[in-house]
A and B are shown apart, each in its own frame.
Chain A
Amino acid sequence: MPLKHLLCAARRLQAAWQAPAIQAAREAERALDYLHGCHQGLNRAGRVATKPVEHQLSGVVPALRRDVLARVRALERAAHHARHCLEQPPVAAPDATALLAELRQLQDEFGNLEVNLRTQTITVTTEAITLEDVSLGPFAVHFSWCHLDLTEPIQSFEVLALEPHPASTNDQVTHPHVRNGKLCPGDATAPLRKAVEQGRLADAFCLIRSVLSHYNSASPHVALSAWESEECHDCGRGMRLEEQCYCSECDYEFCTDCTGVCATCDADRCHGCLTLCSLCGLRLCGRCCRTSAFSGRECCAKCLRTCGSCGARVASDELDAERQRCPLCPEAEAIVMGPLVPAITDTLPI
């Protein structure tokens, strides 16, 4: 990145850091002005309130005393607020030279750096991150310096997956510690706040990278062990990878409770894709399920018989057991084949 561009960015960054410092100074000034005003008001009220006592106008005293008390309380609150403002450590805005050094270090640390003066963002890209064999791809870390909030600096960062491999149960979770583009910095919270406060941008980005490069199994949005988990297409229960059964017939994943095995070929199928043989009651996959040519009833291959006459495959209980004929054949035989058969059989013994 050209030096001119970096220098320009450093100056803009410096202005961004100065803004909260100026704001804090103004607030302290306002708090002191208000405190002063409260003090003056109390002085005036106090003087008025003591006069009636001198003149023995006892009836007026309670109201004036209440007024003085209210002013004392207001003064107390004003003093408390002023103290709070003055107790805040003064924000020393980093100078442009230091910020330029930060930008150059960022470029060195990440091997890439983008500064967009129009959108007021700094972006670096991490290397591809793999945690416990789950590859999450590289992440772009954006820092936006408009509305810089030094008390909640993580809000100025956005972490976006460049080749997202989100948790299957929530596509907004692109990393165990990133949801909706926001990183939960965990143990990095305090050092990150310090780093941003002091304008140590390179440290801030490195801290974020350190969180992205590590998995805290005690507090993830989605555990890596459940990263690939899916919901059962039938009952909707969340399943881990090892619990999933794929049904190749309907192309969905099912839990083990919603899955059965074909009695003929042992293939796993969802309950919806298994058919019961209408004769023996065994479960059948689509490939192993047959239909009777006569009735269309679904049954297994073992429960089908071949008609000795027309060759049709029909359910075994539909076949005339004695003559091995399907229900369609006896009449047909009587009409068409009838006269010929005896003649042939008569001749056989000869």
Chain B
Amino acid sequence: MQILFVNNDGGGFADQIEIDPGTTVARLFEQRLPGRKAEDYLIRVNRQPASADQMLQAGDRVTMTPTKIEGARIAR
């Protein structure tokens, strides 16, 4: 099934992706941001806060945004 996945880490990926039915928020996080800690991210499903074990539905809009980002002195 397809969901809209927005990863605001790195380059800012936003696209439809294919996931297995029954995929939870935590599972998607592991797949998409391996090695990262979920507590360092703002995770929203359909613009709402979501629990780790929430099962994703086809057509869901999932965003993951890091809560701490390194700023700079000069705009890159």
CB distance from A186 to the nearest CB of B (A): 3
Q: A318 to B66, alpha carbons, bound, how many Å?
A: 78
Do the beta carbons of B42 and A206 come within 8 Å of each other?
yes
Q: A342 to B14, alpha carbons, bound, how many Å?
A: 112
Do the beta carbons of B73 and A214 come within 8 Å of each other?
no
Given A108-B47, A202-B47, A203-B63: A185 and B72 interface contact (C-beta under 8 Å): yes
Stretch in A33-41, A189-197, A271-279 with 4+ CB within 8 Å of B: A189-197
Do the beta carbons of A188 and B69 come within 8 Å of each other?
yes
Do the beta carbons of B12 and A194 come within 8 Å of each other?
yes
Of the candidates A108, A187, A193, A206, the one whose C-beta lies within 8 Å of that of B70 is A187
Do the beta carbons of A211 and B12 come within 8 Å of each other?
no
Do the beta carbons of B72 and A177 come within 8 Å of each other?
yes
Do the beta carbons of B72 and A203 come within 8 Å of each other?
no
Given A200-B14, A207-B8: A189 and B75 interface contact (C-beta under 8 Å): yes
Do the beta carbons of B72 and A210 come within 8 Å of each other?
no
Do the beta carbons of A191 and B75 come within 8 Å of each other?
no
Given A200-B6, A206-B8, A207-B8: A186 and B72 interface contact (C-beta under 8 Å): yes
Q: B37 in the interface, Cβ–Cβ < 8 Å? A: no
Do the beta carbons of B47 and A213 come within 8 Å of each other?
no
Q: Tally B residues with Cβ within 8 Å of A.
A: 25
Q: A350 to B36, alpha carbons, bound, how many Å?
A: 106
Q: A150 in the interface, Cβ–Cβ < 8 Å? A: no
Given A191-B8, A194-B11: A219 and B69 interface contact (C-beta under 8 Å): no
Of the candidates A154, A189, A192, A198, the one whose C-beta lies within 8 Å of that of B14 is A198
Do the beta carbons of B73 and A220 come within 8 Å of each other?
yes
Q: A80 to B67, alpha carbons, bound, how many Å?
A: 42
Do the beta carbons of A188 and B71 come within 8 Å of each other?
yes
Q: Given the complex, which residues of A lie within 8 Å of B73, measured CB to CB?
A: 177, 184, 219-221
Q: A150 to B73, alpha carbons, bound, how many Å?
A: 21
Do the beta carbons of B69 and A187 come within 8 Å of each other?
yes
Convert B7-34 into 0s and 1s, putting 1 for each residue whose CB lies closer than 8 angstroms to a CB of A.
0111111100000000000000000000
Q: Given the complex, which residues of B lie within 8 Å of A108, measured CB to CB?
A: 47-48
Q: A91 in the interface, Cβ–Cβ < 8 Å? A: no
A163-212 residues with Cβ-Cβ distance < 8 A to B are 176-177, 182-195, 198, 200, 202-203, 206-207, 210-212
**Cβ-closest chain B residue relative to A194:** B12
Q: Given the complex, which residues of B lie within 8 Å of A184, measured CB to CB?
A: 71-75
Q: A317 to B32, alpha carbons, bound, how many Å?
A: 88
Q: A214 to B68, alpha carbons, bound, how many Å?
A: 5
Do the beta carbons of B67 and A213 come within 8 Å of each other?
yes
Do the beta carbons of A210 and B65 come within 8 Å of each other?
yes
Q: A122 to B66, alpha carbons, bound, how many Å?
A: 22
Q: A101 in the interface, Cβ–Cβ < 8 Å? A: yes
Do the beta carbons of A190 and B10 come within 8 Å of each other?
yes
Do the beta carbons of A203 and B69 come within 8 Å of each other?
no
Q: A112 in the interface, Cβ–Cβ < 8 Å? A: no
Residue pairs across A and B with Cβ atoms less than 8 A apart, 11 shown, are A185-B72, A187-B69, A191-B9, A191-B11, A192-B12, A203-B65, A206-B65, A216-B70, A216-B71, A219-B70, A219-B74
**Chain B contact residues, CB within 8 Å of chain A:** 6, 8-14, 42, 44, 47-48, 63, 65-76
Across chains A and B, which 5 residue pairs bring their CB atoms closest together, nearest first?
A177-B71, A191-B12, A194-B12, A186-B72, A216-B70
